[in-house]
Amino acid sequence: MGNHSNYFHLHMVSDSTGETLMTIVRAATAQYENIQPIEHVYPLIRHDKQLSRVLEEIESAPGIVLYTLVEQAYARRLERKCQDLGLPCVNVLKPVYQVFHSYLNVTETWRVGGQHVMDEEYFQRMEAMNYTMLHDDGQIAGALEEADVILVGISRTSKTPTSIYLANRGIKAANIPLIPNMRPPRQLLKARQPLVVGLMATAERIRDIRQNRILSLDAKSDNDTYVDRKSIAKEIAMSKRLCAEHGWPLIDVTRRSIEETAAEIMDLLRKHKNELKETEEY
């Protein structure tokens, strides 16, 4: 990459969805403040003609090449082309394969898209996703006892995206908004099996998100308290009191990503399930 440019071409070649590559790339590029990759993603590369088009694209826009190709003939062809062009080309899973092979003394089965097989875990994720979408924002409160996790919090505390992330991990997640001057649903207060977790953020953070939300919708708020800092602070205090009264853990999401919040919730859920199991044994 030239010294005068902060942009570079980044080619991601996969015989599956390409999600693994994109996750790795985002994690890596996040460590460099002053560069911006121009991403070229080539998923589901499983035929010679597809790979030929990819090689043409790489030649026309040289840059870093990362790949996950199970078919070794395709991998060798891609690597030879990059070598001829003088470009870096990396099989991002190769170091992981080598560690597994040396430590476990097992060989690879080389299944394309093996992580996406429609097994029991897959259907569990689909069931969790369906449940979560049906129980978003307080919908169908009567089925809350079926949830693994119930997230509660005032408006704009990332309840929905966190619920969807958890569902993608096979966790049935409902979320309930806490609304000023309104009692939470009776079913929430009576729930015993699910883990209930409160989400909160600073008043400044919530105010900024709510203001941006109104602007993005090109709408005017008829209720000034929705974006009033003092009113928001009262909402936060109300949610804190509710969580304290019921012994619900409370997570401050102000400076947390969705992934970080979900990781803490999953850890809490493991402990919660262990406690339920111990109670049942007694």
Residues annotated as binding site? 153-160
Sequence-distant (≥ 6) Cβ neighbours of residue 270 within 8 angstroms: none
Binding residue numbers for ADP: 153-160
Q: Which residue has the tokens 């090109």?
A: 218
How much is the CA Rg of the chain, to the nearest whole Å? 24
In whole angstroms, give the CA distance from residue 239 to residue 180.
9
Tokens at residue 93, please?
A: 């899973």
**In angstroms, rounded to a whole number, what is the distance separating the alpha carbons of residues 201 and 48?**
51
Contact 78, 22 (CB under 8 A): no
Question: Cα dihedral sign for 213, 216, 222, 227?
Answer: positive
**Vertex 214: Cα angle to 212 and 217 (nearest 5):** 105
Backbone angles phi, psi at 280, to 5 degrees: -65, -35
Count of alpha carbons within 13 Å of 200, Cβ hemisphere only? 20
Q: How many residues does the chain have?
A: 282
Distance, first Cα to last Cα, the chain = 65
- 123: part of which helix (H) or strand (E)? helix 120-134
